[in-house]
């Protein structure tokens, strides 16, 4: 277990004053999925999941690492590997945060998509982003199915309602191995694919590097990397200081996720 970058504090402003992101050193090889869980005490509480009926469940960093390893192994069994794009169509939840950690650990690229998107908006982003799989809630599954119709894209459904040929996320986690060797990713490797809203034309996608996700305000380097594709890539994401909101709200140490 490494010494963590941040100390526990009482307020958000105090948290961000701890590090000067203009000078923060990011190692040449850095894996977000390792930094998020392996660098913490495995017995320490990472988060508490609170359900609508007020029941709750605590998860330690060790729990998160095991579940992320299981998901990484499950995705590998579906043919997903380093550099592949996997879309996530699910609100902020335990499963959403878990998906990000698993994808980071295996060197894959997360494509977070809003639950407010309809089939056409999803289809454009999934096809132009060349998503190799989609992790979706059961509520979003019908429009995701319509969006990927005709394409061989595995669907991993959170909760009930998976159709023949689709995968139930809980079943995949239960059957997958708990051991996984994280990929030795470079800080320059892409971690996210983010699309713009498309208000001034077709949505534009851009890969955000691993180092940019760790240090949002790097002064010496651009925070994103343009990749040739059918769309024009521009502009860094602004939500959550460079991270999708569904990610930043899921895995702050000792945090609570309600559903």
Q: What is the pLDDT of residue 1?
A: 62
Please report, for the domain that includes residue 75, its CATH number: 3.40.50.12780
In-domain check, residue 35: no
Q: What is the pLDDT of residue 211?
A: 63
Q: What is the pLDDT of residue 128?
A: 94
In-domain check, residue 17: no
In-domain check, residue 232: no
Contact predicate 121/99, CB 8 Å: no
Q: pLDDT averaged over consecutive 10-residue blocks of the chain (259 residues)?
A: 70 81 80 90 91 91 97 98 97 93 96 95 95 97 96 96 96 97 93 88 84 44 34 30 38 52
In-domain check, residue 193: no
In-domain check, residue 195: no
For the chain, how many residues are written?
259
User: What's the number of domains the chain is made of?
Assistant: 1
As a whole number of angstroms, the distance between CA 204 and CA 214 comes to: 23
* Mean pLDDT over the full length of the chain: 82
Q: What is the pLDDT of residue 112?
A: 96
Residues 43-96: tens digit of each pLDDT: 999 989 888 899 999 999 999 999 999 999 999 999 999 999 999 999 988 999
In-domain check, residue 89: yes
In-domain check, residue 87: yes
In-domain check, residue 76: yes
Q: What is the pLDDT of residue 246?
A: 39
Q: Three-state SS across 220-259?
A: CCCCEECCCCCCCCCCCCCHHHHCCHHHHCCCCCCEEEEC
Domain span at 245 = 45-185+240-250
Q: pTM of this prediction?
A: 0.79
């Amino acid at each position: 277990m490494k010494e963590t970058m941040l100390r526990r504090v009482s307020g958000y402003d105090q948290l961000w004053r701890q590090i000067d992101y203009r000078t923060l050193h990011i190692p040449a090889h850095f894996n977000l999925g390792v930094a998020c869980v392996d660098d913490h005490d495995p017995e320490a509480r990472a988060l508490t999941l609170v359900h609508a009926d007020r029941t709750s469940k605590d998860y330690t960093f060790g729990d998160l690492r095991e579940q992320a390893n299981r998901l990484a192994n499950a995705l590998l069994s579906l043919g997903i590997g380093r550099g592949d794009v996997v879309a996530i169509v699910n609100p902020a939840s335990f499963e959403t945060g878990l998906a990000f950690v698993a994808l980071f650990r295996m060197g894959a690229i997360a494509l977070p998509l809003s639950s407010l998107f309809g089939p056409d908006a999803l289809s454009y982003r999934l096809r132009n982003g060349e998503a190799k799989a989609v992790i979706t809630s059961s509520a979003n599954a019908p429009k995701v199915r319509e969006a990927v119709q005709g394409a061989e894209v595995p669907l991993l459904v959170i909760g009930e309602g998976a159709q023949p040929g689709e995968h139930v996320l809980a079943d995949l986690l239960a059957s997958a191995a708990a051991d996984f060797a994280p990929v030795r990713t470079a800080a320059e490797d892409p971690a996210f694919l983010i699309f713009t809203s498309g208000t001034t034309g077709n949505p534009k996608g851009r890969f955000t590097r691993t180092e940019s996700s760790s240090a949002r305000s790097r002064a010496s380097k651009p925070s994103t990397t343009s990749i040739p594709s059918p769309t024009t890539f521009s502009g860094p994401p602004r939500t959550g200081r460079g991270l999708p909101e569904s990610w930043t709200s899921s895995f702050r140490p000792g945090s609570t996720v309600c559903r």
